[in-house]
């Protein structure tokens, strides 16, 4: 995080940003362009295996993200991983590489690539809040999001396990709050900032995800939030797509658009709703912005 950090990063979109979270990919690129950061997509990137790999095979859980790190090393760049799960796996793989030389050997044998641990993964929040980027955001600010009350929802993998992520406070993080302040929005403090949304159970145990997302949405709404901001495609998909079912379980109706933090930053930097993919949401993401004269 020193001034020496080059404003050039290897970009690892991961699978979600090419499908369910395309608006995250779009808004990420819009923001990078606006603040003068170059994102170079890792050409032959593969899936990090998400939770399925590390839950079922430790070597697989290491080697899939390990290969991505090796590719970034070849580019001589640090990696920005907008997906919190990808970020978590890349960070974990770097830790494991130091602990398991045998894993590194097996990865190098299978792929013919070298892994030394010289490249590290950045999550979107730490990437956005580094001095040079946040200064550029402040400078390029065109449309401060005045009067927009947003619950910053961090979820799990940006802050936990703390020994691996070494980012912010695992119980009460504030980085996204700061970013929201920078772009003129009003961050809402609430108790469920880092509670789990149910993650990959979204397909196999939808009932559990409806319960968990319901608790999070209720806490956000009760604290006065009009919208939720996230930095993870799984969080976004679960909070956005299960909102109706979650409301039924909680005996109330939720109407909280769930924005990627990069969409909000992009909006404040003057990008159009279309450029930011704001029409792709399941819970209407446009009405609130129009009401506030922000889009």
Partner 1 sequence: MSTQTAPALVLKGGPEAKTFLAEVDAMAATQVEACYQCGKCSGGCPLSYAMDYQPRQIMRLVQMGLDEEALRSRTIWICATCYTCTARCPRDIDIAGVMDALRVTALRRGVRPAERNVGVFHRLFLDYVRCAGRSYELGLIFMYKLRTLRLTEDLALGLKMFTRGKLAIRPEASRGRDEVLAIFREAAAGDAGGSAAEAAGGAAVAGAGPTRSGEAEGGGAR
Buried b (16+ CB within 10 A) or exposed e, 57-75: eebebbbbbbbbbbbbbee
Rounded Cα gap, residues 153 and 91, in angstroms: 20
Contact map string, positions 261 to 280, toward partner 1, x by CB under 8 A: ------------------xx
Q: Which long-range contacts (CB under 8 A, 24 or more apart) does 53-60 make?
A: 53/89, 54/89, 54/92, 59/103, 59/106
Task: Decide: is 193 part of the binding site for partner 1 (CB under 8 A).
Answer: no
**How near is the Cβ of 114 to partner 1 at its closest, in Å?**
13
Pick between residue 54 and residue 94 the one whose CB is nearest to partner 1.
Answer: 54
Task: Decide: is 17 part of the binding site for partner 1 (CB under 8 A).
Answer: no
Helices (H) and strands (E) in the chain, counts: 15, 8
Contact map string, positions 221 to 260, toward partner 1, x by CB under 8 A: --------------------x-------------------
Max Cα–Cα distance, the chain, nearest Å = 57
Residues 52-81 that bind partner 1 (CB under 8 A): 52-61, 63-64, 67, 71
**How near is the Cβ of 197 to partner 1 at its closest, in Å?**
9
Residues 94-153 that bind partner 1 (CB under 8 A): 99, 106-107, 109-113
- Using CB under 8 A, which of the segments 37-45, 135-143, 177-185, 263-271 binds partner 1? 37-45
Give the residue from 24, 268, 260, 266 showing the smallest Cα distance to 147. 268
Whether residue 258 contacts residue 230, with contact meaning beta carbons closer than 8 Å, is answered with yes
Whether residue 262 contacts residue 82, with contact meaning beta carbons closer than 8 Å, is answered with yes
- Residues forming the site for partner 1 (CB under 8 A): 15-16, 18-22, 43-47, 49-61, 63-64, 67, 71, 99, 106-107, 109-113, 156-157, 159-162, 170-171, 194-196, 198-201, 203-206, 208, 211-212, 215, 241, 279-282
């Amino acid at each position: 995080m020193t001034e020496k950090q080059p404003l050039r990063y290897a970009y690892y979109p991961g699978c979600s940003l090419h499908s369910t979270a395309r608006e995250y990919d779009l808004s990420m690129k819009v923001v990078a362009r606006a603040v003068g950061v170059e994102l170079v997509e890792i050409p032959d990137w593969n899936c990090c295996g998400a939770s399925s790999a590390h839950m079922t095979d430790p070597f697989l859980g290491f080697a899939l993200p390990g290969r991505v790190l090796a590719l970034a090393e070849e580019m001589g760049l640090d990696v920005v991983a907008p997906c919190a799960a990808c970020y978590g796996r890349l960070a974990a793989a770097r830790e494991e590489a130091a602990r398991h030389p045998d894993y590194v050997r097996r990865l190098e044998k299978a792929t013919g690539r070298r892994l030394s641990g010289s490249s590290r993964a950045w999550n979107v929040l730490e990437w956005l809040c580094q001095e040079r980027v946040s200064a550029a955001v402040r400078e390029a600010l065109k449309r401060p999001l005045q009067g927009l009350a947003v619950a910053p929802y961090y979820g799990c993998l940006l802050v936990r396990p703390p020994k691996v992520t070494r980012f912010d406070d695992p119980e009460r993080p504030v980085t996204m709050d700061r970013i929201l302040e920078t772009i003129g929005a009003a961050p809402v403090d609430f108790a469920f900032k880092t509670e789990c949304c149910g993650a990959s159970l979204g397909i196999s145990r939808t009932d559990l995800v409806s319960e968990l997302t319901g608790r999070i949405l209720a806490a956000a709404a009760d604290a006065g939030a009009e919208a939720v901001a996230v930095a993870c495609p799984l969080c976004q998909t679960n909070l956005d797509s299960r909102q109706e079912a979650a409301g039924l379980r909680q005996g109330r109706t939720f109407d909280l658009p769930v924005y990627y933090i990069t969409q909000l930053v992009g909006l404040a930097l003057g990008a159009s709703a279309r450029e930011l993919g704001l029409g792709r949401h399941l819970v209407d993401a446009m009405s609130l912005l129009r009401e506030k004269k922000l889009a």
